[in-house]
Amino acid sequence: MPILNILRYPDPRLHKVAKPITVFDERLKQLAADMAETMYDAPGVGLAASQVDVHEQLVVIDTSEDNSQLRVFINPEIIWESEERKVYDEGCLSVPGVYDGVERPAEVKVRALDLDGKAFELHADGLLAVCIQHEMDHLKGKVFVEYLSPLKRNRIKTKMIKEEREMSKKANRR
C-alpha cells in the first residue's frame, strides 16, 4: 500500500468540496487502506480524502494510543451536536507543526456509511468528536486555520509557503 501525498496549506485544492460516494468497490477499500497507512505514517489521528487530493466524502480516524481502532466514515453528516462547546488545541497533517485552539461542540452524533455501504450512527465526545468535526470540515473545503484570526492565518500561510519553497530548493539540489 502506497503512502499518499498529503496536500499542504495553502494549496487551493484543500478548498474543493468533496462529492458523496455512491460506489462501494475495491477501489474505495484500497483508498481507505492507503489513507489509513498514510495517516499512521504521518503520524496523525485523522485524514480526509480531500487532503490526499481525492475529493470524495471519505474520512479515516484512529484516536487510540496503539493504532488499533481505525474508523472509516463515508458520506458523514452530523445529526446532533451538544450546546456545550470546548476549545481544543488542534493540529492538521496539511498544516504540519501548527497547533492552535479551536472552539467546537463538545459532543456530536454522526451518521455515516461503512466500506460496504451500510449505515451507522456514532455518538462521540472528547478527541474523537473534535477529530470527526475537523475531518468533516476538510470535506467541505475548510482547513482548521480558517477558525483563527486573520493575523494568525496570514502568519501560518506565510510560514507554510516559506517552508514549501525551502523544501523545493533542497529537492532541486539533489
**Residue positions forming the annotated binding site for Fe cation:** 92, 134, 138
Adjacent-strand bridge partners of 87? 103
Record the cell numbers describing residue 28, joined without a space: 474505495
Instruction: Say how far apart CA 1 and CA 30 lie, in whole Å.
Output: 8
DSSP code, position 90 = E
To the query of whether residue 77 is one of the catalytic residues in this protein, the response is: no
- 78: helix, strand or coil: strand
Whether 113 and 121 have beta carbons less than 8 Å apart is answered as no
Annotated binding site: 92, 134, 138
Closest alpha carbon to 142 in 57, 16, 11, 53: 16
Q: Distance between terminal CA atoms of the chain?
A: 26
Among 77, 107, 135, 164, the active-site one is: 135
User: Is the preceding peptide bond at 43 cis, omega within 30 degrees of 0?
Assistant: yes
Instruction: Say how far apart CA 138 and CA 52 lie, in whole Å.
Output: 11
| Enzyme catalytic residues | 135
